Amino acid sequence: MKTNVVFNLAMFKDEKLIKRVSAEGYESLLCHSHDFVETVYVLEGEARHFLGKEEQKVKKGDFLIIQPGVEHYYVPKYGNANFQIENFIFAPDVFPFLKDYPSMVVQHVNQDAAVTGLIAVLEAECANRAKSNDEMIRHEMYALLLNIVMRYSDRSIKDTEVSRNLCEEICNYIKQNYSEEISLDKLARAFYCSKNTIVSLFKRNYSTTVYHYILKVRIEKACELLLKSNLSNHAISEAVGFSDFRNFYRHFKSIVGLTPKAYKEQAEKEDVTHD
């Protein structure tokens, strides 16, 4: 069957980073390609799926990742009405690590509690966009994709690109949530991986511990607040996630080499000198 449909993100009217769409009937049966990454979760039914020149059987509970530019289409076993799929689509640059993976079909993910749990969260957040934001949805989508490629592809978390990307995602999470309580347990739950995996990733990629990275981020934010706000030192320590001012004071002096007061005074003197 010749390709007669090419989908692109511009066809979808909303500007969300990750879009949830249904692709039932006509659009799914036509041989098509697209300029975005398409993930597919089969909700009901069975079909023959043609991916390029390869034919695959897909059914309820299967999960597909279709890369940009790849021709594919479905032939339902029992007709259109009995075959239902759910798509999450996004531009290739949203998750750059995926470019190293081929299009794939993963069977029986509905038997995997971690994966189905993530899909359910994604569905709920996309359905309630008023209370969700793009970053929350992107994080859940990332966790889902990471679980898929870690569990079901022939590559592993030790791959350089995946390893580096996961570290970047965790670092971004820390930078966005530094004011809250962050523990290794909480990070492991958020990214659906083991604590040992996170520890080894930080050691391999950044030659530091997660604990010291969190401290560094919090102290950097404290430095910003010291220079750009009129908050007291105690208020700043709480704002960047310290529950004990003595710990804040000790770590600030250890990392910066000055007390908070001395740091602010030195910065003010330098500003006067530059003027």
CATH architecture of 211-274: Orthogonal Bundle (1.10)
Of 11-20, 88-97, 183-192, 244-253, minimum mean pLDDT range: 11-20
Q: Output the CA angle 174-170-201, nearest 5 degrees.
A: 130
pTM for the whole structure: 0.70
Q: State the helix-helix crossing angle for 134-152 and 160-177, rounded to 10 degrees.
A: 150
> What's the CA dihedral at 239, 243, 244, 247 to 10 degrees?
-70
**Rounded mean pLDDT, 55-78:** 91
HSE toward the beta carbon, residue 30, CA cutoff 13 A: 11
> Taking 60 as the threshold, does the pLDDT of residue 158 lie above it?
no
**Backbone dihedral angles phi then psi of residue 86, each to the nearest 5 degrees:** -125, 130
Rounded Cα gap, residues 128 and 216, in angstroms: 35
Which residue has better confidence, 275 or 135?
Answer: 135
Higher pLDDT, 141 or 163: 141
Q: What is the pLDDT of residue 190?
A: 84
Q: Residues 206-242: pLDDT tens digits? A: 899 999 999 999 999 999 999 999 999 999 999 999 9
What CATH number has the domain spanning 5-153?
Answer: 2.60.120.280
Nearest to 27 by CA among 83, 69, 77: 83
Domain assignments of the chain as residue spans, ordered by start? 5-153, 211-274
Per DSSP bridges, beta strands 5-7 and 32-34 are parallel
